Structure 1
Amino acid sequence: MRDETTTGDLDAALEALAAAPRLIVALDFDGTLAPFADDPSQVGALPGSWAAVLTLNRAKDTEVVLVSGRPLGSLAAVTHAPEDMALVGSHGVEWRVDGHAEAALTADELERVARIGAALDEVGARFPGVVVEHKPAGHGVHTRRVSADVASEANAAASRAAHDADPEVLERGGKDILEFAVRHVTKGDAIVRLRDLHGADAVFFAGDDVTDEDGFRVLGEGDVGVKVGPGETRAGFRIDDPAALTGVLKQLARLRATR
């Protein structure tokens, strides 16, 4: 894991990144562009960050992509992203790129999703305050509203139930959430695909959660990864919180617009 780097290092990295002929700006949403909230439907990107995102989205040879664990519909609803902004939901399963939506689950995958969801609903009913979120390609068990002890017990029960229902289920942890999916794709897979799709010369990626490490893992020389908040990371740079990301995005937008 990389150590925290200085602000000066990040300034220099952004200047070099902004000179790339074709750039992808990939951003997680919750905990990155927006602070966390108990009600995920009521969050919004910080105004300064969103203004910078829109500026970047209009910049020449620059593709902004929101890459989230949220379902695509939820991501579109909370961001109000313009139609020409690319969205990737469910950790890379669902896509809205170039105005076209894509979520091709097979009939077998849909049946697996339903079976796992039914098992998790039974777990959720046993733990008041634990919320089971049903997604197109899986489910999330949210424990933000309960104590650490209850969360630990609920997560253990959810893991047993999901794997009993489907031994091939993909389990991944996050901040106050345990997720179960039927398709083994990651944010890293999404970034690799986006780079190939757009012929990008460089990638900027910012994220805060454990699942964002898959994105940092695929970054290469000339790319810039920014970890938002604490925790071990493969990102080359770290900032304190979503508010600190506002300044980073504003700087990148300014450099990209004047290159």
Structure 2
Amino acid sequence: MPEPTTDQAVVDQVLETLAARPRLLVALDFDGTLAPFADDPSEVGALPGSWAAVLTLQRAKDTEVVLVSGRPLDSLAAVTHAPAEMALVGSHGVEWRVDGHDEAALTEDEQSRVARIGTALDEVGARFPGVVIEHKPAGHGVHTRRVSAEVAAEANAAASAAAHDADPDVLERGGKDILEFAVRHVTKGDAIARLRDLHGADAVFFAGDDVTDEDAFRVLRDGDVGVKVGEGDTLAGYRVDDPAALTDVLKRLARLRAVR
């Protein structure tokens, strides 16, 4: 896997080319990308410079901005305070707030599966103080940020066994200090592909930091730009060190797009 580019001059040139495309989709992860991580997910906030750039891009001609997150849709809306006209995609692509319309409904069978898995994971959480079980509309997350690596490994193993015993078809995926279990096999890559078609985008800019964001990087095409935030193997073509470094990239793109 080739190492993504970090050369600022190269990034600047790529952004100039991208900003000149007729219709641009700017899709962004939130936690770890626009916002630093926090022990309490409800206290997370986007970096002011990044958010200002996002709002500038939102106002730019022929530009669609979408936040694509693993968070439940209501949680994403609450922590971002995103304007009503900004599209949001939650739960890795299961929940949508696009063009002012919500889309999330699970079937009765899926709802039963979610409840069954949640009960099993709650029992696991009770055995590991400091491990937090987050209940989402289409699944659940096991958060281990507050415990040691040893406890996290033990809790994740127990959670995996319990979830698969409760529902053999559950989708399991790992992230940064979180193990997630979902009943609908949808990824951020599916969301990006659908958003591209929905908006007729000629090019896509996507930035993300987590393992689940690799699904989105995987569907990018020639002429698109993918930015990995932080360390780790990635399919993205470009890398920045942290959310603060991404702020500069977003500001640059916003300035270029605003004056095209």
Verify same fold: TM over 0.5: yes
Deviation sequence 1:48-79 (CA, Å, 0-9, x none): 00000000000010000000000000000000
Gaps of 5+ in 1: none
| 3-state SS of 2:26 partner | strand
Alignment of 1:81-120 (within 5 A): 81-120=82-121
What residue in structure 1 maps to residue 184 of structure 2?
A: 183
How far, CA to CA, are the matches of 2:100 and 2:83 in structure 1?
A: 9
Cα pair 1:123 1:157 within 8 Å, conserved:
yes
State the distance in 2 between where 1:97 and 1:147 align.
39
CA contact (8 A) 1:188 1:218 kept: yes
Q: Secondary structure at the match of 1:206?
A: strand
Q: What CA distance in whole angstroms lies between the structure 2 residues aligned with 1:212 and 1:9? A: 23
CA shift digits 1:11-36 (9 cap, x unpaired): 11101100110000000000000000
Partner Cα separation in structure 2 for residue 25 and residue 2 of structure 1: 24
**Whole-Å separation in 1 of the counterparts to 2:133 and 2:81:** 24
Q: 1:168 aligns to what SS in structure 2? A: coil
Query: Which whole-Å CA distance do the structure 1 matches of 2:31 and 2:21 have between them?
Result: 27
Using structure 1 for the length normalisation, give the TM-score.
0.99
Q: How many residues align?
A: 259
Q: Which range moved further: 65-74 or 6-15?
A: 6-15
CA shift at 1:4, angstroms?
2.8
SS in 1 for 2:201: coil
Q: Structure 2 stretches of 5 or more lacking a match? A: none
Instruction: Confirm or deny: 8 A CA contact 1:130 1:146 kept in the other structure.
Output: yes
Aligned residue in 2 for 1:155: 156
Q: SS at 1:221's partner residue?
A: coil
The yes-or-no answer on 1:246 pairing with 2:250 is no
Aligned to 2:70: 69
| Distance (Å, rounded) in 2 between the aligned partners of 1:206 and 1:12 | 17
1:131-174 CA deviation, whole Å, 9 max, x = no partner? 00000000000000000000000000000000000000000000
| Counterpart secondary structure, 1:133 | strand
- Indicate conservation of the 8 Å contact 1:226/1:235, yes or no: yes
Contact conserved, 1:140 with 1:178, CA < 8 A, in 2? yes
What amino acid is the match of 2:214?
E
Partner residue, 2:128: 127
Q: Root-mean-square deviation (CA), in Å?
A: 0.5
Moved runs in structure 1, 4+ residues, more than 6 A? none
Q: Which amino acid aligns with 1:179?
A: E
Distance 1:96 1:129 in 2: 32
Letter in 2 for 1:70: R
Q: Percent identity?
A: 85
Structure 2 Cα separation of the partners of residues 223 and 232 of structure 1: 19
Q: Which residue of 2 aligns with 1:174?
A: 175
* Aligned residue number for residue 229 of structure 1: 230
- Tell me, in whole angstroms, the C-alpha distance in 1 between the residues paired with 2:106 and 2:10: 42
8 A contact 1:2–1:235 mirrored in 2: no
Q: Partner amino acid for 1:65?
A: V
Aligned 8 A contact 1:86 1:98 in 2? yes
Report the alpha carbon displacement of residue 7 of structure 1 after superposing the two structures with TM.
1.5
